[in-house]
Amino acid sequence: MQAEIITIGDEILIGQIVDSNSAFISKELNKIGVSVYQITSIQDDSDHILDALATAGKRSSVVIITGGLGPTKDDVTKHTLCQFFDDKLVQDDAVLEHIEELFKKYISTPISDLNRKQALVPSKATVLHNANGTAPGLWMKKGDTAYVSLPGVPFEMKYLIQDQVLPKIISEYDRPHIFHRTIMTYGMGESAIADKIENWEDNLPSFVKLAYLPNLGRVRLRLTAKGADKQSLVDAVETEIKKLYKLIGDIIYGEEEEGTIENQVGKLLVQKNMSLATAESFTGGKIAEQITAIPGASTYFKGSIVSYATEAKIELLEVPENLITEHSVVSEEVAKAMAKNVKCKLDTDFSIATTGNAGPTKGDSNADVGTVYIAISTPKRTFAQKFTMGNSRERIVQRSVNKAFELLLKEILNF
């Protein structure tokens, strides 16, 4: 049982948007045991769409198509589907009623002929109700392959996948189980890890696959098991992971399925009924933003002082001016003072502080681009560490945010 995804629209092919729709759909399909064999992004062009539909249908039982179902003229998908299925467009009254209702409720402009045209669907299609928008999803069959066409707007596509497409696949297809666990490591390169676990890797059961996923100073190790019996997959992966902890337990900081490291920080803080604040300079609020992206963060996160300018460190965080003059604004001492002061001001148990230079120029501090200090304050102590994070602004910030959460997690585990 395998699926394919076809995304239609020039915006991906000219690099205007990143194809996050396919990542979402793939993840959801994997959860119900459907492997994705290929993702194909193509232009809004009839011949190309026809070719992609035919090719995908030869290989896969379900082909999910996103994009090209909007009301405007650059959308050719629906007409091409008619051509592919030798069908014609007919008006669906339920869809028309839904469109009229949405306009009455939410949209100030009057309903137009273009909007009404969205109620035209191929006569052979099963219509999938789109509660979040005016373009319906379409489910069509050719031979043994189901073709599912969805609008490209992420908010509408996500609803249709979760509420309409997945239940239909579950009810109509037998699927094997797929089970992933992903171990997150830090501080060791891909090849050094590979050397250490070579023997273990060579002896993995045949239905368990290992993948190395390196990024931004961390390597994730993903184990994937596939088979008919879910429990035996879970058990086999568990056994292998136990062996892995014996080999490289010192560089493992968690598992991706437990959530990101900031998720783990959050869970622990809730458990321990403890709280957190941040004082950010060059990370510019990104640590706070990643914390607050988690639903429920208000239970443990009080706030952040983003003291981007040196004067903000003095005014808002009350870092003593002479400390800055003496040690420079990018220094262990200033990082520690920021962490201590924000913890005190917001009366929290833990705090993170960052100060550094993310470039492109040397700025207030005269510190080299890439030099950063990360400070952690706990109920017991305050410390700061220096890091050199390379020379790309985006990387310096993201690696520092990652590192800050790592340092904090280790401390929280001790309480």
d(CA 129, CA 220): 39
Q: What's the full length of the chain, in residues?
A: 415
Which of 37, 172, 228, 258 forms a contact with a second copy (CB under 8 A)?
37
Do the beta carbons of residue 350 and residue 275 sit within 8 Å?
Answer: yes
CA distances for 35 relative to 4, 226, 313, angstroms: 8, 10, 51
Q: Mention every residue, 6+ apart, whose C-beta is less than 8 A from residue 138.
A: 69, 78, 81, 121, 122, 125, 126, 127, 128, 147, 148, 149
Pick from 162, 191, 199, 239 the residue near a second copy by CB under 8 A. 191
Instruction: Tell me the window of 165-173, 225-233, 341-349, 407-415 that interacts with a second copy (CB under 8 A).
Output: 341-349
Q: Verify binding: residue 309, a second copy, rule CB under 8 A.
A: yes
Compose the 231-250 pattern: x for residues touching a second copy by CB under 8 A, - for all others.
--------------------
β-pair partners for 2: 35
Q: Does residue 402 interact with a second copy by CB under 8 A?
A: no
- Residue from 176, 363, 383, 385 in contact with a second copy (CB under 8 A): 363
269 contacts a second copy (rule: CB under 8 A): no
Q: Which part of the chain contacts a second copy (CB under 8 A), choosing from 68-76, 78-86, 141-149, 405-413? A: 68-76
Which residue lies nearer to a second copy by CB, 126 or 275? 275
104 sits near a second copy (criterion: CB under 8 A): no
The region of 233-241, 331-339, 344-352, 371-379 touching a second copy under the rule CB under 8 A is: 344-352
By the rule CB under 8 A, 17 interacts with a second copy: yes
Binding status of residue 194 toward a second copy by CB under 8 A:
yes
**DSSP states of 198-238 as a string?**
HHHHHTS-TTEEEEEEEETTEEEEEEEEEES-HHHHHHHHH
| Binder of a second copy out of 54, 90, 94, 114 (CB under 8 A) | 114
Nearer to a second copy, 42 or 169 (CB): 42
Identify which range of 106-114, 162-170, 237-245, 327-335 contacts a second copy by CB under 8 A. 106-114
Q: How many residues bind a second copy (CB under 8 A)?
A: 107
Q: How far is the CB of 87 from a second copy (least distance, A)?
A: 24
Site for a second copy contains 206 (CB under 8 A): no
160 binds a second copy, rule: CB under 8 A: no
- Tell me the backbone φ, ψ of residue 386, rounded to 5 degrees: -95, 140
Contact 341, 319 (CB under 8 A): yes
- Among the listed residues 36, 66, 62, the one whose alpha carbon sits nearest the alpha carbon of residue 49: 66
Q: How far apart are CA 143 and CA 127, in angstroms?
A: 19
Specify whether the CB–CB gap between 79 and 22 falls below 8 A. no
Neighbours of 247 (CB within 10 A): 15
Among 296, 321, 362, 413, binds a second copy (CB under 8 A): 296
